[in-house]
Structure 1
């Protein structure tokens, strides 16, 4: 698992947030590498309840580029994200009979190419399958995540 997260970290220069196996609005695992100041502002301002990417992910499956969500962003969450360098990104949503998993991936320099989105989405799907039914990560995975400075929340 740490290898996939490291690969995703390399492919997403401004970071990601991955929420796996969401049940009752809480993920079993949450991995985040977005800039700390953005995550603090996101939390402090309660953006999760107004974030068009989150809304889209709970209502759809597949992926959507953030630029395609900007029109319906009445609360200005996407505009605020750009102030922290999250200029380009996309959201992926997977839903199966057990739970939903969602993720957002970002960069500051350019939009993701279609092939990059496909590859990143595939890695995300592998993580979803790999963590299905797991409640606790191994010490090896936990240590590897800490070394990569990937913040993890576990329910």
Structure 2
């Protein structure tokens, strides 16, 4: 099973654990995650984004500042903007924050439900899922020379045929190198792979 398929399966399990949705930011580096997923109520996510709550959210602050798991009701960080109270109005009444990984590549997750607090057993299961997702989505620390060259030639604006000619390889070989680079970088498009490779200082 490929890593992307494994991640999809783990996300499915997380959805089952979080009846009111979840938030997952994988490997936050340079202030941005390599992948982010949100299944909370759309009205809430829209309101959250429009209000720029990510900069003020006590759950995010907790997750970025330390590792471990805690119920939202036990987060020891002030909430002067009343974000958690507002979230409850959108059905996110109870939740758990889970954080893992080094501060240079932190993963933060929030799982929600609208009926009761998460049990210790549920928190343990959710923590295991987040740890597995963190591991499965570990970004690469290097690309092969061939993969770098393929990304760089496209990044300079060359089309496949021209880029392949510059590298002295066939167009299909260039596409194959781009495909492996995209897979390593969890990118769906070559443009996204180029941006991530730049973000990770790989090209």
Q: TM-score, normalised by structure 2?
A: 0.65
What's the offset of the Cα at 1:38? Answer: 0.5
Q: Is the 8 A contact 1:70 1:78 kept in 2?
A: no
2:79 and 2:113 map into 1 onto residues whose CA distance is 19
- Match in the other structure for 2:112: 106
1:12 and 1:97 map into 2 onto residues whose CA distance is 25
1:24-103 matched pairs, under 5 angstroms: 24-69=30-75, 72-96=78-102, 98-103=104-109
Q: Deviations over 1:43-102 (max 9, x none)?
A: 011111111111111111101111113872111000010010100001111122751110
- Match in the other structure for 1:23: 29
- Match in the other structure for 2:126: 120
- Which segments of 5 or more consecutive residues in structure 1 lack a partner in the other structure? 140-153
More strand by share: 1
More helix by share: 2
Q: Deviations over 1:21-51 (max 9, x none)?
A: 1101100000111110010000011111111
Aligned-residue CA RMSD in angstroms? Answer: 2.0
- 2:13 is aligned, of 7, 21, 32, to 7
Q: TM-score, normalised by structure 1?
A: 0.84
- Which segments of 5 or more consecutive residues in structure 2 lack a partner in the other structure? 1-6, 140-183, 190-194, 197-203
Q: Is the 8 A contact 2:28 2:105 kept in 1?
A: yes
Total equivalences in the alignment: 141
Q: Is the 8 A contact 1:17 1:105 kept in 2?
A: yes
1:101 and 1:8 map into 2 onto residues whose CA distance is 14
Q: Whose relative contact order is higher, 1 or 2, with alpha carbons under 8 Å and at least 6 apart?
A: 1
**Paired residue secondary structure (1:28):** strand
Larger radius of gyration: 2
Write out the 4+ residue segments of structure 1 that deviate beyond 2 Å after TM superposition.
95-98
Q: Deviations over 1:99-121 (max 9, x none)?
A: 11101000001110000000011
